[in-house]
């Protein structure tokens, strides 16, 4: 959010109020409330069927809500069709009109707004330049790569100067390298234009990397809406903790607002937790390994696998009946090859807990 | 694939092509031969029968009527079927099977049964709407449904209709604009195919027109054939050649459009 306060905000506030959508007996969206600040990029993150795409389509006007309101600034757009909502949208599937060149695609919305040929050419040219494709104006969709097509689609969505930008998993059809590059480019363009943006994705890395705030959804409602660092480090619910990042599920006992996990005392995220057995949700990066010759102890185990992830590595430790993941710089992980006896230390970060009777056992 | 196998395949293709060509061209050749025959076997070839087409008022009228019917039927078919199929695909996919069944139904109904059903309706149309032969377009619209449906369905399946229409709507396009500027330009071959099939069917239709007492091209051809067989054969060859030319135009235009813009499913 700090970044936004320093930049110019051209967008408007967008409010989703008690938005609900049902498909027969299935409730896809259950009274969703979400307020987006002007110029903010909010990412809706969640598993398939959680209602994130439905929420975006309701904002776009491509679906009708059963109840609730969509408000852009002071204007209630709930009853307006998609063509009158003034939104720019980039789709998951390639959506460039195949019979038009990149330039004609970008200019399409301007034609519908009765702009002159000169205005259209100028604006479309500027937009293609914004996404770094000014040299591709005369190419048809089939002559562009997937990443280029999505960039043209972004230029097309922004060309009409929409009130809100909607991104419906625009990167999911692309390969990893292009995805990461385009993700940064979308953020750059969004900050440059200052438009309020709703970004839907099932990829947590994407959401955490570019959003001002991340909304984690499950079963048609928001579990948590907060800046990425908060969602990751202070998840509001066990679902968020498990969905965003990897989590070790370690049995422990709560006493006096502290959970004891095999002798390690960890503070709690939640306030009102009665004493008793629980499952603590511990992040892999909060686990570190020590090779101090100890062969016995509640947190002593054997390294059974080391997964190389590049700059970091993930080490799997067998604690006897339970495996624990630890993530650390690769240089540190290399000191603990498979078979090594190690002692785990848990960083005393506040942890989320689940009542033991409701949780499955094991890590 | 080995060289000899490739050669065998090529020979096989040529043989099949020649056989099929002979199958289609021999009757046309025979008709052409008959229509240019002189009065006896020793007479030289003559174009008298072809020239008599223009001098036979009934035939000229039949040709004009059938061409008008072909245009009306094609346009009517596109106006009725294309928006319906797009709407069903986008909004009511669960009834697509029913629509398909209804569109294919005319294939299974014999022309005589169709005429028996349509007769009372046409009596009413003749009295209350128009006695014009062009009212036949209504019956033809039913007859061309199966062929046009198949062609348009293939065209719609080749494009991502949902995404393209939603993209256009999000940019401010109404449904009319979506149809005219997005859907139609992206399926030129399918639309041309459907139209050509309609034209071919209308130009060759005899039974329904005759049983409903309308004079179209084929009814006139049959009538003229009673007294002047070479002329009626000349007209029949002419109609076939027209359909052939239309097919060629379709292949050329369709191929060129695809080369210019895109090939469905192909990406850089």
Say which CATH number the domain at A352 has.
2.40.50.100
Distances (CA, A) of A316 to A292, A307, A344: 18, 8, 11
Q: Which two tokens stand for residue A86?
A: 């003034």
Q: Mark whether A167 and A234 lie in a shared domain.
A: yes
Q: Is the pLDDT of residue A355 over 80?
A: no
Q: Is A144 on the interface with B (CB under 8 A)?
A: yes
pLDDT for the residue B257: 64
Q: Is the pLDDT of residue B259 over 80?
A: no
- Give the residue, B157 or B225, on which the prediction is more confident: B157
**DSSP per-residue codes, A305-342:** EEEE-SSEEEEEEE-SS-EEEEEEEHHHHTTS-TT-EE
The span from the CA of B118 to the CA of B109, in Å, is 12
Q: Mark whether A172 and A228 lie in a shared domain.
A: yes
User: Quick check: A83 and B166 CB within 8 A?
Assistant: no
Q: Is the pLDDT of residue B118 over 90?
A: no
Q: What is the pLDDT of residues A250-261, one digit of tens each?
A: 999 998 889 999
Nearest CA in chain A to B166: A62
Is A11 inside a domain boundary? yes
Least confident range from A10-14, B22-26, B86-90: namely: A10-14
Q: Is the pLDDT of residue A176 over 90?
A: no
| A166 phi and psi angles, rounded to 5 deg | -120, 125
Residue A175 Cα to chain centre, angstroms: 18
> Which one of A177, A205, A240 terminates a domain?
A240
Range with top average pLDDT, A8-12, B74-78, B134-138: B74-78
- Mean pLDDT, all residues of chain B: 87
What is the arithmetic mean of pLDDT over A149-172? 93
Which residues 88-117 of B are in CB contact (within 8 Å) with A?
none
Running DSSP on this structure, what letter comes out for residue A41? E
pLDDT for the residue B243: 78
Q: Which residues of A touch B183 (CB under 8 A)?
A: none
Give the residue among A255, A251, A314, A312 at the shortest CA–CA distance from A284. Answer: A314
pLDDT for the residue B246: 76
pLDDT for the residue A75: 92
User: Quick check: B167 and A140 CB within 8 A?
Assistant: no
Q: Is the pLDDT of residue A327 over 90?
A: yes
Nearest CA in chain B to A157: B171
What is the arithmetic mean of pLDDT over A217-243? 90
Task: Give yes or no for a contact between B233 and B35, defined as CB atoms under 8 angstroms apart.
Answer: yes
Of A85, A91, A146, the CB nearest to B163: A91
User: Quick check: A60 and B170 CB within 8 A?
Assistant: yes
Q: Is the pLDDT of residue A28 over 90?
A: yes
Q: What is the pLDDT of residues B30-63, one digit of tens each?
A: 999 999 987 777 788 888 888 888 888 888 888 8
Pairing mode of beta strands A26-36, A196-201:
unpaired
Say which CATH number the domain at A221 has.
3.40.50.300
Range of the domain at A56: 2-240
Specify the pTM.
Answer: 0.80
ipTM: 0.81
How far does A169 lie from chain B, in Å, by closest CA?
A: 13
The span from the CA of B45 to the CA of A272, in Å, is 108
pLDDT for the residue B78: 95
pLDDT for the residue A344: 92
Least confident range from A90-94, A294-298, A338-342: namely: A294-298
What is the arithmetic mean of pLDDT over A205-234? 92
Q: Is B158 on the interface with A (CB under 8 A)?
A: no
Q: Is B154 on the interface with A (CB under 8 A)?
A: no
Q: Mark whether A50 and A139 lie in a shared domain.
A: yes
Q: Mark whether A152 and A14 lie in a shared domain.
A: yes
What is the arithmetic mean of pLDDT over A33-61? 94
User: Quick check: B169 and A99 CB within 8 A?
Assistant: no
Interhelix angle for B57-91 vs B229-260, to 10°?
A: 30
Tell me the percentage of chain A whose pLDDT exceeds 90: 62
Going along chain A, which residue ranges are E strands?
Answer: 14-23, 26-36, 41-45, 67-72, 75-76, 87-90, 164-168, 196-201, 213-218, 221-226, 248-255, 258-261, 264-267, 276-282, 287-290, 300-308, 312-318, 323-329, 341-346, 352-355
Least confident range from A5-14, A39-48, B99-108: namely: A5-14
Q: Is A91 on the interface with B (CB under 8 A)?
A: yes
Running DSSP on this structure, what letter comes out for residue B44? P
> Which one of A183, A218, A240 terminates a domain?
A240
Q: Mark whether A220 and A259 lie in a shared domain.
A: no
Of B186, B263, B268, the CB nearest to A99: B186
Of A95, A109, A148, the CB nearest to B163: A95
Q: Is B261 on the interface with A (CB under 8 A)?
A: yes
Q: Mark whether A213 and A279 lie in a shared domain.
A: no
Is A276 inside a domain boundary? yes
Q: Which residues of A touch B174 (CB under 8 A)?
A: 83
Q: Is A141 on the interface with B (CB under 8 A)?
A: yes
How far does B252 lie from chain A, in Å, by closest CA?
A: 18
> Which one of A187, A215, A240 terminates a domain?
A240
pLDDT for the residue B1: 66
Q: Mark whether A164 and A205 lie in a shared domain.
A: yes
Tell me the percentage of chain B whose pLDDT exceeds 90: 44
The span from the CA of A206 to the CA of B39, in Å, is 86
Listed as own residue / partner, the contacts of A303-309 with beta carbons closer than 8 Å and 24 or more positions apart are: A303/A336, A303/A337, A303/A338, A303/A339, A303/A340, A303/A342, A304/A338, A305/A338, A306/A333, A306/A334, A306/A336, A306/A337, A306/A338, A308/A333
User: Quick check: A145 and B268 CB within 8 A?
Assistant: yes
Tell me the percentage of chain A whose pLDDT exceeds 70: 95
- Mean pLDDT, all residues of chain A: 89
* Per-residue pLDDT band at A238 (split at 50, 70, 90): confident
Of A82, A99, A142, the CB nearest to B169: A82
How far does A86 lie from chain B, in Å, by closest CA?
A: 7
The span from the CA of A149 to the CA of A170, in Å, is 10
The span from the CA of A318 to the CA of B234, in Å, is 91
Q: Mark whether A181 and A323 lie in a shared domain.
A: no
Q: Is A101 on the interface with B (CB under 8 A)?
A: no
How many Cβ atoms are within 10 Å of A235's Cβ, its own excluded? 25
Query: How many domains does chain A fold into?
Result: 2
The span from the CA of B9 to the CA of B3, in Å, is 10
What is the arithmetic mean of pLDDT over B142-164? 94
Tokens 């002798």, residue located:
A263
Q: Mark whether A212 and A259 lie in a shared domain.
A: no
Q: Mark whether A266 and A191 lie in a shared domain.
A: no
Name every residue whose Cβ is closer than 8 Å to that of residue B85 and which is 6 or more positions away in sequence. B99, B149, B152, B153, B156
Name every residue whose Cβ is closer than 8 Å to that of residue A265 and which is 6 or more positions away in sequence. A258, A259, A348
Q: Is A88 on the interface with B (CB under 8 A)?
A: yes
Q: Is A181 on the interface with B (CB under 8 A)?
A: no
Helix (H) or strand (E) holding B100: helix B96-104
CA angle A69, A71, A74 (to 5 degrees): 135
Q: Is the pLDDT of residue A356 over 80?
A: no
Least confident range from A44-53, A352-361, B168-177: namely: A352-361
Q: Which two tokens stand for residue B61?
A: 């009228």
Q: Is A80 on the interface with B (CB under 8 A)?
A: no
> SS3 for B266?
coil
* Per-residue pLDDT band at B157 (split at 50, 70, 90): very high
pLDDT for the residue B75: 95
Of A89, A94, A142, the CB nearest to B170: A89
CATH topology of domain B60-228: MetI-like fold (1.10.3720)
Q: Is the pLDDT of residue B266 over 70?
A: no
Q: Which residues of B touch A62 (CB under 8 A)?
A: 166, 169-170
Q: Which residues of B touch A94 (CB under 8 A)?
A: 160, 163, 267
Q: Mark whether A151 and A299 lie in a shared domain.
A: no
pLDDT for the residue B144: 94
Is A363 inside a domain boundary? no
Q: Mark whether A143 and A106 lie in a shared domain.
A: yes
């Amino acid at each position: 959010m700090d970044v936004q306060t320093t930049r110019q905000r051209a967008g408007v506030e967008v409010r989703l109020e008690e938005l609900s959508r049902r498909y027969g007996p299935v409730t896809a969206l259950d009274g969703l409330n979400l307020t987006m600040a002007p110029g903010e990029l909010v990412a809706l993150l969640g598993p398939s069927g959680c209602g994130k795409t439905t929420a975006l389509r309701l904002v776009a006007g491509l679906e009708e809500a059963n109840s609730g309101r969509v408000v852009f600034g002071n204007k209630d757009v709930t009853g307006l069709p998609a063509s009158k909502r003034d939104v720019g949208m980039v789709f998951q599937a390639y959506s460039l009109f195949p019979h038009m060149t990149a330039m004609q695609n970008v200019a399409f919305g301007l034609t519908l707004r009765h702009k002159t040929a000169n205005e259209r050419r100028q604006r479309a040219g500027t937009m293609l330049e914004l996404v770094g494709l000014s040299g591709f104006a005369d190419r048809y969709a089939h002559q562009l790569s997937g990443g280029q097509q999505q960039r043209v689609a972004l230029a097309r969505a922004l060309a009409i100067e929409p009130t809100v930008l909607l991104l419906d998993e625009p990167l999911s059809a692309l390969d990893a390298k292009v995805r990461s590059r385009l993700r940064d480019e979308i953020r750059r363009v969004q900050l440059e234009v200052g438009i309020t943006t709703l970004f839907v994705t099932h990829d947590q890395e994407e959401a955490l990397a570019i959003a001002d705030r991340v909304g984690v959804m499950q079963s048609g409602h928001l579990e948590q809406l907060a800046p990425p660092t908060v969602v990751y480090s202070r998840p509001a619910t066990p679902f968020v903790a498990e969905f965003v990042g990897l989590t070790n599920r370690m049995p422990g006992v709560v006493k006096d607002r502290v959970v004891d996990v095999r002798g390690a005392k960890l503070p709690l995220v939640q306030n009102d937790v009665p004493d008793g057995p629980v499952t603590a949700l511990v992040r892999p990066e909060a686990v570190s390994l020590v090779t101090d010759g100890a062969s016995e102890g509640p947190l002593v185990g054997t390294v059974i696998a080391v997964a190389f992830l590049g700059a970091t590595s993930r080490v799997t430790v067998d604690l006897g009946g339970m495996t624990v993941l630890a993530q650390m710089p690769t240089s540190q992980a290399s000191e603990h090859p498979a078979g090594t006896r190690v002692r785990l230390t848990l960083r005393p970060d506040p942890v989320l807990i689940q009542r033991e009777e409701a949780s499955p056992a094991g890590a | 694939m080995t060289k000899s196998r490739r050669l065998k395949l090529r020979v096989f293709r040529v043989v099949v092509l020649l056989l099929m060509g002979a199958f289609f061209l021999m009757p046309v050749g025979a008709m052409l031969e008959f229509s240019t025959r002189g009065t006896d076997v020793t007479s030289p070839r003559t174009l008298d029968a072809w020239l008599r087409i223009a001098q036979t008022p009934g035939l000229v009228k039949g040709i004009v009527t059938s061409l008008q019917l072909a245009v009306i039927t094609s346009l009517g078919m596109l106006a009725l079927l294309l928006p319906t199929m797009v709407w069903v695909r986008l909004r009511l996919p669960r009834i697509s099977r029913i629509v398909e069944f209804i569109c294919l139904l005319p294939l299974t109904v014999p022309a005589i049964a169709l005429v028996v059903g349509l007769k009372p309706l046409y009596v009413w149309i003749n009295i209350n709407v128009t006695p014009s032969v062009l009212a036949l377009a209504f019956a033809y619209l039913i007859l061309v449904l199966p062929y046009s449906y198949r062609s348009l369905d293939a065209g719609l399946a080749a494009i991502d209709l949902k995404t393209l229409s939603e993209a256009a709507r999000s940019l401010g396009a109404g449904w009319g604009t979506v149809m005219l500027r997005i859907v139609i330009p992206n399926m030129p071959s399918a639309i041309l195919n459907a139209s050509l099939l309609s034209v071919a069917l209308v130009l060759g239709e005899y039974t329904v027109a005759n049983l409903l007492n309308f004079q179209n091209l084929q009814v006139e051809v049959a009538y003229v054939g009673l007294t002047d067989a070479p002329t009626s054969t000349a007209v029949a060859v002419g109609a076939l050649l027209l359909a052939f030319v239309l097919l060629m135009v379709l292949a050329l235009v369709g191929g060129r459009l695809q080369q210019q813009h895109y090939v469905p499913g192909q990406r850089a």
